[in-house]
Amino acid sequence: MPISKAIIKKIKSLHQAKFRRVENAFFVEGKKSVEEALQSGWKVLYAFTTESNLSSDNMELITELEMAQISSLSTPSNFLAVMEIPQMSLEENSNKVLYLDGVRDPGNLGTILRTADWLGWKNVVLSNDCVELWNPKVIQSTMGSIFKVNVISDEAGTWLTEAQSKGSKIYGADLNGTSIKQELPQFPLVMILGSESHGIREAAKEFVQQYITIPSSGNAESLNVAIAGSIIMYQWS
């Protein structure tokens, strides 16, 4: 059965952040990501495939032309699902939380979340000016890990105050910090990562109790934030 023009229009609107907010929905593309979506327990609004042997009660069969109309990719995948945006919260009593301060690049955010999932850092807080979590490029970069980590936005800008009051030690990644090889983490902890262009900003710096760094053996000026975050999470996993 052909997909209706109304549904095509609705899904295409989700390419824009303002309509994702209005509809309280986002979409995922790619076989692995859609499989993770269907198994996540999150509410699935629509699920489509162009592969006739894989269509089922869970996925509706559509044509490649229809997929191209709703996809955000220049080369559309054979799988797309539309999900309701859930209410997420952090795990209670977690001993480590990653706090991202002003990370604006969607690929970096997606990669950080994917690595956090791999290394068991299941709680991530975004400052209120990070790139939108439901941005298609973020979702694509997580490769399904969006469904396996807990991510909240610090909309009020008060999360670090609360974490400090609860006794978490707050670390910050900085070129001039103590080598992460020499510093043993004190749990529970919060690790703050800033953007590549600005680093950790003044508002977040107020809460940092200790700076750590990844020692360099070469001449590069700095590390990509996703790479730096991955190394830190691995070292302190």
**Which CATH number fits the domain that encloses residue 205?**
3.40.1280.10
DSSP line for the chain: -PPPHHHHHHHHHTTSHHHHHHHTEEEEESHHHHHHHHHS-SPEEEEEES-GGG--SSSEE--HHHHHHH--SSS--SEEEEEEPP---PPTT-SEEEEEES---HHHHHHHHHHHHHHT--EEEEETTSPPTT-HHHHHHHTTGGGTSEEEEETTS-HHHHHHHTT-EEEEEEEEEEETTTPPP-SSEEEEEEBTTTBS-HHHHTT-SEEEE---SS--S---HHHHHHHHHHHT-
Boundaries of domain holding 207:
96-235
Query: Do 44 and 36 touch, CB atoms closer than 8 A?
Result: no
Q: What is the dihedral of CA 146, 78, 135, 117, to 10 degrees?
A: 20
- Tell whether 132 and 211 lie within a shared domain: yes
- Tell whether 61 and 169 lie within a shared domain: no
pLDDT at residue number 221:
79
- Tell whether 101 and 175 lie within a shared domain: yes
The ranges of the chain with pLDDT < 70 are: 1, 54-57
- Tell whether 19 and 112 lie within a shared domain: no
- Tell whether 109 and 139 lie within a shared domain: yes
Residue 89 domain-assigned (yes or no): no
- Tell whether 130 and 206 lie within a shared domain: yes
- Tell whether 127 and 19 lie within a shared domain: no
- Tell whether 107 and 221 lie within a shared domain: yes
pLDDT at residue number 222:
81
| CATH number of the CATH domain containing 31 | 3.30.1330.30
- Tell whether 133 and 78 lie within a shared domain: no
Residue 47 domain-assigned (yes or no): yes
pLDDT in tens, 7-42: 999 999 999 999 999 999 999 999 999 999 999 999
- Tell whether 65 and 122 lie within a shared domain: no
Residue that is last in its domain, among 60, 84, 108 = 84
- Tell whether 127 and 178 lie within a shared domain: yes
pLDDT at residue number 1:
64
pLDDT in tens, 60-93: 999 999 999 999 999 999 999 999 999 999 998 8
Pairing mode of beta strands 210-213, 189-194: unpaired
Name the domain count of the chain: 2
- Tell me the pTM: 0.94
Query: Do 208 and 178 touch, CB atoms closer than 8 A?
Result: no
- Number of Cβ within 10 Å of residue 40's Cβ equals 17
- CA–CA dist 26, 17 (Å, integer): 9
- CA–CA dist 57, 95 (Å, integer): 40
